[in-house]
Amino acid sequence: MIRSDGGSTELKMSSKPACLVLCSGHTEGVGAQSFIHAYTIANSVFVLHVATPQGLPVNFVDQDENSRKWVADFQSKSYTSPGQVESVDPSRFSALLIPSAPGAMHDLAKHDSVMHILRHFVKHQKPICAIGYGVAALAAGRDESNLWCFKGYSLTGPSIYNLIRRRDFSDLPIVFEEFARDHLASYTSSQANGVHTVIDKHLITGQNDQSTLNAVQNLLLLCNTQ
């Protein structure tokens, strides 16, 4: 596991590849179920490093009784405290995992450090897995010419139909489906809440929390083939 101070020693000593788990530090938070499933599955293969803007604590939302127990145990361990996105060296990581996070629309979608992380991962074709609301973080990706990194990619995420059911829809800083289409990506989504995952080269996207398991399993498969 990675220490909260960056954990360079563990990254170098572990035989497992390192995966950056990018999370929102906004009050809108990170989906508890999506994070739990993503973290549990990925932890069996990767050394995981959780990072948020400024190292802010993760606010886990939509918790039930079981997830509350898991989150309480997780947060009781000092080594699970998030590191700072601003201090991340993306060259240390073999994969990038972004769980579903409503807060991503507020603090990750236009974050400069997220831009540089995504630029590195796209340039080197490293596996990226973004799920549900977490796909909004992909909006931050820009190349050296200030063009969106994922132009021409096929991806998915929350549909506009699902977003308009949110009470705060009119105040959302980004509607990622519109953003992706405006920036010439192919975007597919379903009004239903079933599993929907899209894989395009090194990018894996899942439409919603229910797609977490399938999306992360595909991330592991992709990493195994590289």
Residue 96's alpha-carbon distances to 48, 108, 134, 156, 218, in angstroms, are 10, 14, 12, 17, 13
DSSP 27: T
Nearest residue to 130 via CA among 194, 28, 199: 199
Token pair for 102: 């409503």
Query: Taking a C-beta distance cutoff of 8 angstroms, is the pair 222, 127 a contact?
Result: yes
Query: Taking a C-beta distance cutoff of 8 angstroms, is the pair 19, 220 a contact?
Result: no
Query: Taking a C-beta distance cutoff of 8 angstroms, is the pair 154, 188 a contact?
Result: yes
- Give pTM, 2 decimals: 0.92
Strand ranges inside the chain, DSSP E: 18-22, 30-31, 47-52, 60-61, 83-84, 95-98, 128-131, 154-155, 186-187, 197-200, 203-206
pLDDT of residue 190: 82
Query: Who's near 168: CB < 8 A, 6+ residues apart?
Result: none
pLDDT of residue 1: 38
Token pair for 208: 């919603």
pLDDT of residue 8: 41
Domains in the chain (CATH in brackets) are: 8-225 (3.40.50.880)
Q: What is the pLDDT along the chain (226 residues), one digit of tens a residue?
A: 333 334 443 444 568 899 999 999 999 999 999 999 999 999 999 999 999 999 999 999 999 999 999 999 999 988 889 999 999 999 999 999 999 999 999 999 999 999 999 999 999 999 999 999 999 999 999 999 999 999 999 999 998 888 898 888 889 999 999 999 999 999 998 877 788 999 999 999 999 999 999 999 999 999 988 7
Which residue is it, tokens 């800083």?
Answer: 173
d(CA 130, CA 216): 9
| Cα-to-chain-centroid distance, residue 97 | 5
Nearest residue to 1 via CA among 130, 213, 13: 13
d(CA 10, CA 207): 33
Query: Taking a C-beta distance cutoff of 8 angstroms, is the pair 48, 103 a contact?
Result: no
pLDDT of residue 78: 82
pLDDT of residue 80: 86
Nearest residue to 135 via CA among 114, 172, 109: 109
| Cα-to-chain-centroid distance, residue 19 | 11
pLDDT of residue 224: 87
Would you tell me how many other CB atoms lie within 10 Å of the CB of residue 93?
Answer: 25
